[in-house]
Amino acid sequence: MIVCKFGGTSVQDADAMMRIAKIIEERRGLHPVVVSSAMGKTTNRLLEIARTASRGNQQAALDLLADLEDYHLREARKLAIAVSEDPVAEKINSYFKEMRDLVYGLSALCELTPRVSDAMASYGERLSTAILAQVLENQGIPAQLMDARQCIITDDQFVNANPLPGETEAAVARHLGPVLRDGRVPVFQGFIGSNREGVTTTIGRGGSDHSASLVGAALGAEEIQIWTDVDGIMTTDPRMVPGARRVKEISFNEAAELAYFGAKVLHPATILPAVRKNIPVRVLNSFKPDQEGTLITNETQPCENPVKAIAYKKGITVLHIASTRMLMAHGFLRRIFEIFDHYRVSVDVVSTSEVSVSLTVDETSTLWDLVTELKKIGEVNVEGSQAIVCCVGENLRNIPGVPHRVFSALEDIGIHMISQGASSINITFVIGEDSLTEAVQRLHDSLFRKTDPRIFV
């Protein structure tokens, strides 16, 4: 059994869904489970509709919603599945009626709560899977539309809910097991779940990958396939470096590090359930289904190139916090991170000296509240428009000369923070965002001038 997750671009229109039907048909013998994202940019559009309504702009929100409804019905009609009295059309119409009711409520209350935001966002995946399940049926593939909210059981942290592993695993096996035994293809929503009380939640942006990994882990899948619009994991972003190479295989640890530090192919949490069950993950291109993509496993063969890939994050803010009392007084670090914990702000890179701490954040919605609290324990300087660059490869810490190669390529670019010792597989540093493109291009030229043909294409 395999799990096939399809991202938004892979289900964005009628042509894309027909490609998926062919991909699933070719894998029928592997007993696939389909996990789908919303069509195209539907989730963004739904959230914009909710925000517009909550600002009291009811008619504008209804107009946006009508456009979204036309989009779904138009693509469904191209597939000949949303005509008069068609059950899929009825389902689409009922979903949009529910969303219009939400718009009326939001425009009356002028308040968008995380719970209502999740309710609105959930319709994207519910719409796409309703259409996709019928596409498979029409192509002669027995399919069963599932409700992920019965299977992905989460805590109450709306907008970024955490799945509860034990309860989720039991629910997935209970609901999907019989469908697979009957020879049908389960069609399952990514991104959404529900709390123990049955209230709809979402598991964070990019969470469809996580959903696929949870399903695969619960069912003991042979492989989890992440179908997207790129050829696999690349040596760096090909939009920045046109000569970027595809990585044939990479370790779980390397892929997780790349995902965390900005590689868009995978959601960071995707890796965890697969790692625990030692299930390989393969990243594939739904527009080029014959390519082998990138295989992610626990162990990979040795590579002549010490660095497998370069990731980056833009829009980074650096906070410099200096103790105003004795040098690194007892409890100073603890108090700093307690404040970050209170505001639920994650830190990417940390550097310390005797009297100060520098750290990076990419979540700035509560930045000034955070800074206000930090000023109670020290002097705080804020530096915006920064970027993190991360070079990832197995056992980098123990390979002589790699830091020299990295920083020689950047000898005239100002580097504000460096971190290596915290991980054996990455070298991470912070630079000004205006230097990012040049830095990544130089690094790629230096580190991938020659590539190991066993690992790179």
Query: In which element (H, E) is residue 26 found?
Result: helix 14-26
Please give the backbone phi and psi of residue 440, each rounded to the nearest 5 degrees, phi first: -65, -40
- Rounded to whole angstroms, the maximal C-alpha distance in the chain is 76
Give residue 142's domain range.
2-229
Nearest to 269 by CA among 385, 429, 154, 100: 154
Sign of CA dihedral 48, 54, 59, 65: positive
Verify that 82 and 223 share a domain, yes or no. yes
Q: Does residue 456 lie in a domain region?
A: no
* Contact between residue 21 and residue 34 where contact means Cβ atoms under 8 Å apart: no
Verify that 225 and 318 share a domain, yes or no. no
Q: Does residue 127 lie in a domain region?
A: yes
Count how many domains the chain has: 2
Bridge-based pairing of strands 249-251 and 294-297 is parallel
CATH value at residue 197: 3.40.1160.10
- pTM of the full structure: 0.88
* Contact between residue 222 and residue 30 where contact means Cβ atoms under 8 Å apart: yes
Q: Does residue 130 lie in a domain region?
A: yes
Q: Does residue 194 lie in a domain region?
A: yes
Nearest to 106 by CA among 120, 93, 124: 120
Q: Does residue 12 lie in a domain region?
A: yes
Domain limit, last residue, from 200, 229, 258:
229
Instruction: Provide the H-helix boundaries in 139-185.
Output: 165-181
Verify that 110 and 221 share a domain, yes or no. yes
Q: Does residue 205 lie in a domain region?
A: yes
**Count of C-beta atoms within a 10 Å radius of residue 66:** 12
Rounded to whole angstroms, what are the CA distances from 408 to 386, 427, 440, 447? Answer: 20, 14, 13, 11
**Could you report the per-residue pLDDT of 261-296, keeping only the tens digit for each?**
877 777 767 778 888 899 999 999 999 999 999 999
Query: In which element (H, E) is residue 34 found?
Result: strand 32-36
**Could you report the per-residue pLDDT of 171-222, keeping only the tens digit for each?**
999 999 999 999 999 999 999 999 999 999 999 877 899 999 999 999 999 9
Please tell me the distance from the alpha carbon of residue 17 to that of residue 398, in angstroms, as a whole number: 47
Please tell me the distance from the alpha carbon of residue 38 to that of residue 55, in angstroms, as a whole number: 25
Domain limit, last residue, from 198, 229, 260:
229
Sign of CA dihedral 81, 119, 157, 265: positive
**Could you report the per-residue pLDDT of 414-425, keeping only the tens digit for each?**
998 888 766 678
Please tell me the distance from the alpha carbon of residue 81 to that of residue 92, in angstroms, as a whole number: 11
Domain limit, last residue, from 210, 229, 248:
229
Chain centre distance of CA 51 = 22
Question: So what's the pLDDT on residue 396?
Answer: 82
Residue written as tokens 């009356």?
A: 108
Bridge-based pairing of strands 378-392 and 426-432 is antiparallel
Question: Encoding tokens for residue 121?
Answer: 């966002």
User: Confidence class of residue 164 from pLDDT cuts 50, 70 and 90?
Assistant: very high
Verify that 219 and 322 share a domain, yes or no. no
Q: What is the mean pLDDT of the chain?
A: 92
Verify that 331 and 222 share a domain, yes or no. no
Verify that 220 and 360 share a domain, yes or no. no
Please tell me the distance from the alpha carbon of residue 423 to that of residue 260, in angstroms, as a whole number: 13
User: Confidence class of residue 374 from pLDDT cuts 50, 70 and 90?
Assistant: very high
CATH value at residue 357: 3.30.2130.10
Please tell me the distance from the alpha carbon of residue 316 to that of residue 386, in angstroms, as a whole number: 5
The length of the chain, given as a count of residues: 457
Please tell me the distance from the alpha carbon of residue 65 to that of residue 111, in angstroms, as a whole number: 18
Q: Does residue 108 lie in a domain region?
A: yes
- What average pLDDT score do residues 227-254 get? 93
Q: Does residue 457 lie in a domain region?
A: no
Verify that 93 and 214 share a domain, yes or no. yes
Question: So what's the pLDDT on residue 67?
Answer: 98
Provide the 3-class DSSP secondary structure of residue 235. coil
**Count of C-beta atoms within a 10 Å radius of residue 260:** 20
**Could you report the per-residue pLDDT of 296-313, keeping only the tens digit for each?**
998 888 899 999 999 999
